[in-house]
């Protein structure tokens, strides 16, 4: 029933089957690893170069970040100074406007002493005698007018009425012409 098959061919020295032998080369000869080592060196060099570049750029970014922070701090200080200067300029502009408004008021106000002096000189030149000088305020109707007439009436502050005597019509005419030419 059962039979025992023993293969004695493997034991013979002149017969060796090719089972288990590496294909493509001899067992004892070492493999040349120079290309592998060169590739490994190039890869390590490129990795070291990339790491060095990353380190340098990272330090430059940190330095630039510190500079940006310092410049932003200076910018904040300068903005505060600019706001202070703007405030000073606004105050100066307001002060100048108030001074101009006050100067306009004083330009329109004529002192009575100057008016009296001017009248005395005109009286001597024209030969008339003044008996009464009176100031009257503008009427309410002048303030109610509209358009350019209303603006002109609003600028009027008071009127001066002069009463007196003249020896002739020529003296009165000379007096009126001199009064109209007077800045007062």
pLDDT at 70: 96
For tokens 């032998």, name the residue: 21
- C-beta of residue 145 within 8 angstroms of C-beta of residue 153: yes
> Cα separation of 7 and 69, whole Å?
88
In a domain, 16, yes or no: no
Task: Please count the helices (runs of H) and the strands (runs of E) in the chain.
Answer: 5, 2
Q: Which helix (H) or strand (E) holds 106?
A: helix 34-108
Tell whether 118 and 104 lie within a shared domain.
no
In a domain, 175, yes or no: yes
Residue 15 binned pLDDT confidence (cut-offs 50, 70, 90): low
Q: How distant, in Å, are the alpha carbons of 15, 97, 109, 122, 140 from that of 102?
A: 133, 9, 11, 30, 25
The mean predicted confidence, pLDDT, of the chain is 81
Question: pLDDT per residue over 105-151, tens digit each?
Answer: 777 677 777 778 888 888 878 788 888 888 787 776 554 555 555 55
pLDDT at 123: 81
Tell whether 98 and 82 lie within a shared domain.
yes
Tell whether 102 and 127 lie within a shared domain.
no
Q: For residue 96, give its domain range.
A: 33-108
Tell whether 100 and 117 lie within a shared domain.
no
Question: pLDDT per residue over 58-70, tens digit each?
Answer: 999 999 999 999 9
Tell whether 90 and 137 lie within a shared domain.
no
pTM listed for this prediction = 0.37
pLDDT(25) > 60: no
Question: pLDDT per residue over 39-87, tens digit each?
Answer: 999 999 999 999 999 999 999 999 999 999 999 999 999 999 999 999 9
């Amino acid at each position: 029933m059962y039979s025992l098959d023993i293969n004695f061919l493997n034991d013979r020295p002149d017969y060796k089957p090719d089972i288990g032998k590496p294909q493509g080369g001899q067992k004892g000869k070492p493999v040349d690893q120079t290309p592998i080592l060169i590739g490994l060196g190039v890869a390590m060099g490129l990795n070291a170069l990339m790491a060095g570049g990353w380190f340098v750029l990272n330090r430059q970014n940190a330095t630039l970040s510190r500079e940006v922070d310092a410049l932003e701090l200076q910018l904040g200080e300068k903005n505060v100074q600019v706001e202070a200067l703007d405030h000073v300029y606004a105050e100066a502009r307001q002060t100048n406007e108030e001074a101009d408004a006050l100067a306009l008021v004083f330009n329109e106000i004529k002192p009575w002493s100057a008016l009296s002096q001017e009248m005395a000189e005109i009286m001597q030149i024209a030969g008339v005698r003044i008996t009464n000088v009176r100031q009257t305020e503008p009427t309410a109707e002048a303030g109610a007018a509209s358009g350019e007439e209303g603006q002109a009436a609003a600028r009027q502050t008071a009127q001066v009425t002069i009463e007196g005597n003249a020896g002739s019509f020529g003296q009165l005419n000379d007096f009126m012409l001199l009064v109209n030419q007077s800045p007062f």
